[in-house]
Amino acid sequence: MNISIFGPSGATGTLLTQRCLAAGHQVTALLRTPENFPLRDRIHVIRGSPFDLPAVNQTIEGADVVLSALGANSLKKEDVLERAVPQIIAAMQETAAQPKPVRRIIVLGSAGALPTSLDKQPAWRRWFVQNIVYNTFLKWPVASQISQWQNLSQSNLDWTMVMPPMLTNTPAHGAYRIDGDALPRNGSRISREDVADFMMQQIDNPQWIKKGVYLAW
């Protein structure tokens, strides 16, 4: 397939790019500084920003699937998703009249994107995570994920938002819990490798289209 990737140089984005290449897909990736990306010689590079609609249009041209691992790089107010996701959606919607419209998008989200995400947690943990983690420590990254959810769910695209808890850089377990309603009970972390593997599985899986899905060990 032809796969377009946004956020390819981040920790999860690099894993997605590696897995796409290993599976034999053609990859187009949007990069601000391609010269710093170790896989640049194996992909079709578009130099630019996800906030720039012409660059986003170039990135998705001819794509079968769009993958996004965009997100905040710090705990500060960055508005990356608030600014980038509407551009990606607009670019994809502009292809609607083309012979091959670009409709499928799979994004990396966060378990904090929905108010129901903690419904399956013990009461003490639900209070702690919501008030101390989501409302305080991760206030701005969570706000960005809420925005991403709202923009995708209001679009007419075939979207899937993968919503893990804390990501680790440890090796994949290869087994994890999947839930379409809320974060699995006491689920607090999962490796980026497992998340990247799950996102790859969604490329030709219709189960979670127009839905969010939670993953945790």
Among candidate residues 206, 87, 71, the one with its CA nearest the CA of residue 141:
71
What pLDDT, in 10s, does the model give residues 30-58? 999 999 999 999 999 999 999 999 999 99
> Integer distance in angstroms from the first to the last C-alpha of the chain?
30
Q: Rg for the chain (alpha carbons), in Å?
A: 17
CATH number at residue 212: 3.40.50.720
Element (H, E) at 202: none
Distance between CA 145 and CA 133 in Å, rounded? Answer: 14
Q: Which residues pair with 4 in a beta bridge?
A: 28, 66
Q: Which domain holds residue 112?
A: 2-216
Cα–Cα distance, 128 to 126 (Å, whole number): 6
* 109 DSSP 8-state letter: -
Give the list of residues 6+ apart from residue 101 with CB closer than 8 angstroms, or none.
92, 95
Q: Quickly count helices (H) and strands (E) in the chain.
A: 6, 10
Helix ranges restricted to H, 61-191: 80-93, 123-128, 139-153
**What pTM was estimated for this model as a whole?**
0.96
**pLDDT tens digits, one per residue of 94-124:** 999 999 999 999 999 999 999 999 999 999 9
Q: How many domains does the chain have?
A: 1
Look at residue 109 in the predicted model and tell me its pLDDT. 98
Rounded Cα distance, 116 and 87, in Å: 27
Name the β-bridge partners of 191.
168
In the predicted model, is pLDDT for residue 75 greater than 90? no
- Helix (H) or strand (E) holding 56, with range, is helix 53-60
Q: Which of 160, 161, 195 is nearest to 176 (CA)?
A: 195
Place of tokens 């289209």: 209
**Which pLDDT value is given to residue 212?**
98
Q: What pLDDT was estimated at residue 99?
A: 92
Model confidence pLDDT, tens digit, residues 143-186? 999 999 999 999 999 999 999 999 999 999 999 999 999 999 99
